[in-house]
Amino acid sequence: MESLTSYYIHNIDPVIFHIHGPLALRWYGISYLLAFFAAYLILRSRSSKGLFDVPPGELQNFIVTLAFFGVLVGGRVGYLLFYGWADVQREPSYVFKVWEGGMASHGGMIGVILFVVWYARKHQHSFWNIMDNLALVAPIGLFFGRVANFINGELWGRVTTVPWGVIFPQEFGMGPCSGVAKDEIRWLIVDGALRPRHPSQLYEAFGEGLLLFALLCLLRKTKWAQKPGFLSVAFLVLYAAARISVEFVREPDSTIYFGWMTKGQLFSLMMLVVAAVTVVRMRIVSSDE
């Protein structure tokens, strides 16, 4: 059995400081603020250059309403429907327990699309121009979100023997370890109850975040990026590929399809179907100018 010091034991407190009761300043919330601020800076630059239909004067309101109705509400509702419905049935107030986590990236994407449909029609902007620009900055939010997942000690990977594996005491409902808790964790490791796991949150932060952002930045300089919808389709395809790949080393939820497919992989395959249908209908990748 590996010694206690062979692997990193997750020991990061997700709470920066407590305010009152469950109300606290958390790294998860800070990650969202950083993501929205970075997106705002990029979109403001593109708007001032005439590359983004939302004018600079509207941009702050756009970001705030998009963040709330698209990302936060969409992400939360998506999580409750896709992953947490049993919790809602058991405890209806779980809907409002946002401090316990529970945001689905696929739900957030659906929320963003629905918001943009409404916003583009109301303000007479191009739907695809807005979506293509959001596709460019979305990986930034995914990066910060996955790092926050790691800080929270949630959505960990499958058991592994790789030297960079991480032991997550959160498996047993234990937070940052110290004192007696550290001894308890040691015995759980000795008994084989706690095993090193892939830090799949960090894999996703790289694949869905940094790598995806770099690839989209390269693609936006190609001639195809001039076609409305191209960056949106590229985002769907590249995100789905990254998510499907990492899901093979991420601990699956209770629902498995066909003996191997996780919900995350199923939803990502649906994204590939949507991307394919969009390409066919709009001929985004045709050679015609």
pLDDT tens readout for residues 132-186: 999 999 999 999 999 999 999 999 999 999 999 999 998 887 766 554 567 788 7
Kindly tell me the burial class for residue 232, based on how many C-beta atoms sit within 10 Å of its own C-beta (0-12, 13-18, 19 or more): buried
Alpha helices in the chain, H assignment, sequence order: 27-48, 56-65, 74-82, 85-90, 105-123, 127-152, 180-190, 200-204, 212-219, 230-247, 263-282
- Summarize pLDDT for 105-131 with one digit per residue, the tens: 888 899 999 999 999 999 999 999 999
**Global pTM value:** 0.86
Give the rounded distance of the alpha carbon of 284 from its chain centre: 26
- Summarize pLDDT for 237-263 with one digit per residue, the tens: 999 999 999 999 999 877 788 888 998
**CA pair distance 258, 276, nearest whole angstrom:** 23
What DSSP element (H or E) covers 257? strand 256-257
| Domain ranges, ordered by start, for the chain | 8-216
**CA pair distance 21, 270, nearest whole angstrom:** 40
248 in Cβ contact with 238 (< 8 Å) = no
* Other CB atoms within 10 A of residue 14 CB: 21
Return left, alpha or beta for 253; rule: phi > 0 is left, psi -120 to 50 is alpha, else beta.
beta
